[in-house]
Amino acid sequence: MGMLIRDILENSVEKFADIKAVKWLQKKDILERSYKELMENVVAVRKGLLAEGFQGKHIALIGVSSVEWIESYLGVITGSTVAVPLDAGLPGEDLIDLINRSDSEGLFLSPKLLPLLDAVLAQCPKLRKIWMLQEEEAEASNEKVVSLADLKKASENSGDCDKPNPEDIATIIFTSGTTGKSKGVMLTQDNLATNVAYVRYTAEPGTVMLSVLPIHHAFCLVMDWLKGFSLGASICINDSLLHMVRNMGIFKPDVILMVPMMVETIYKRLSAADPAIPKAALAANVFGGKLKIIFTGGAHLDPFYIDKFAEYGVDIYEGYGMSECSPVISSNMPGDNKPGSIGRPLANAEIDFDHGEILVKGSSVMKGYYQMPQETAETLKDGWLHTGDKGYLDEDGFLFINGRVKNLIILSNGENISPEEIENKLALGALVGEVIVTGENNGLTARIYPDMDVVQAKELGEEEIRAGLQSFLDEYNKNQPTYRQITGLIVRKNPFIRSSTKKIKRQEAMVDEPMK
């Protein structure tokens, strides 16, 4: 026994056929697709992949949220193929590495990433086909590159795939690894489908959700899209973070999933408004007039914001999860809420503790990391997932977090950053002797001890060292997604303190007298 995303989707299409499943903007027009239309495209992608011989293969997707992206994703996971959603904001070399490491043989690529095409074709030998996420013919001279429309055309004379098994891998989601190398979390059909089913939130069909998070993230993918579809919600695509407030006014959402950083930014706008404006009027202006619920996850939210947003008629419910748990482990819910906690665990999640570390067992816990048996064994022990977070359950069964075991920086935008991954890149700077990256003030700070050989050879003064390092960081930042950019620089006077095994003592990285 087990559950399938395909069954959930087919059930929704049967019940909500004419309800709008997805809405998005094209310039100033709102375009829409009903559940019935959505499913026709999903089936066409699924059959197309079968006709093209991709059964059992891995298919990567690179692009920001779009109706074509989600239809392709659903086409992949409702058939016999495995979807590998990747972060479109990553540098090209990282994307190529992940396509290769995930053994992807097909790729759905956003037309905006056309400049990446030549490098991908040259450096990803396993890729047999690239489908541009567009209906128009693909503008490429390589026969491997076609459009989504071509794939759908290939489906016309094809039969449909059998249903996958609940234990089959549905998707591989990459997440930051503490060793500096990202890990591919393998989630089965049953992992995803039970996470959708056991999050107890219900809503009327046609409830409007605005999807503002990156679609390749498990929280957005599973809770905005898959959970939303299971409820018959209309999911609206926020086309740019520049326009989040404007788009709330256009789509008038009832519910939004956010990361804490979004709540913090919106609060700055609310609190800066003229106090003479009534709160209800201001809320209508900023939130679109119908917003009642924000679910947050990805990082801890200061309960201060929960009280403040309540004054504007918006309830915030904090939850907790990680990609390895498909992703929700616990969540506060309307009618079952304790601010400051991360809610009660889902009914399919058993919780235990090992020296304070939260352990999770249950049907949403991943199968393992793709081709990383050692990392899998370190994280999954006897079926228990070691979360790396410390916490406790209170007398009412609400879960609280109070520390971390793993060396990851969690930013309030929900991004998990492996400091080693960035330090390895920064260490390449000519002026960089030693570097440690820390998370402060919602961003990353590089603490650098300059390479004294270079400093002496070039006879550099304090200001020149700082300017040289800043310009190196600016150059590094140019090619990185915003969450991996370094926004603070501290130039150290002394080398870092090291342990007896000559490793830098990370917990003492802040101990120094900076040059300025």
Which residues are at the interface with other proteins (CB under 8 A)? 240-246, 261-262, 264-266, 268-269, 272, 412-413, 441-443, 474, 478, 482-483, 485, 487-489
Q: Give ∠ CA 229-231-234 in degrees, rounded to 5.
A: 60
Sequence-distant contacts of 327-331: CB under 8 A, at least 24 apart: 327/195, 327/218, 327/219, 327/222, 327/223, 327/297, 328/195, 328/198, 328/199, 328/219, 328/222, 328/223, 328/297, 328/364, 329/358, 329/360, 329/364, 329/387, 329/399, 330/399, 331/199, 331/201, 331/295, 331/297
CB of residue 46 vs other proteins: minimum separation in angstroms?
32
Q: Cβ closer to other proteins: 269 or 498?
A: 269
Q: Cβ closer to other proteins: 51 or 245?
A: 245
CB of residue 261 vs other proteins: minimum separation in angstroms?
5
CB of residue 27 vs other proteins: minimum separation in angstroms?
11
Exposed e or buried b per residue across 5-27, where buried means at least 16 C-beta atoms within 10 angstroms of its C-beta: bbebbbebbeebeebbbbbbbee
CB of residue 464 vs other proteins: minimum separation in angstroms?
18
Find, among 58, 295, 4, the residue nearest to 174 by Cα: 58
Q: Cβ closer to other proteins: 178 or 247?
A: 247
Looking at residue 497, what DSSP letter applies? P
319 forms beta bridges with 331
Q: Cβ closer to other proteins: 289 or 481?
A: 481
Cβ(484)–Cβ(422) under 8 Å?
yes
391 forms beta bridges with 401
CB of residue 84 vs other proteins: minimum separation in angstroms?
25
CB of residue 331 vs other proteins: minimum separation in angstroms?
22
CB of residue 441 vs other proteins: minimum separation in angstroms?
6
Q: Cβ closer to other proteins: 264 or 451?
A: 264
Q: How far apart are CA 91 and CA 217, in angstroms?
A: 17
Q: Cβ closer to other proteins: 320 or 483?
A: 483
Cβ(473)–Cβ(443) under 8 Å?
no
Q: Cβ closer to other proteins: 478 or 502?
A: 478
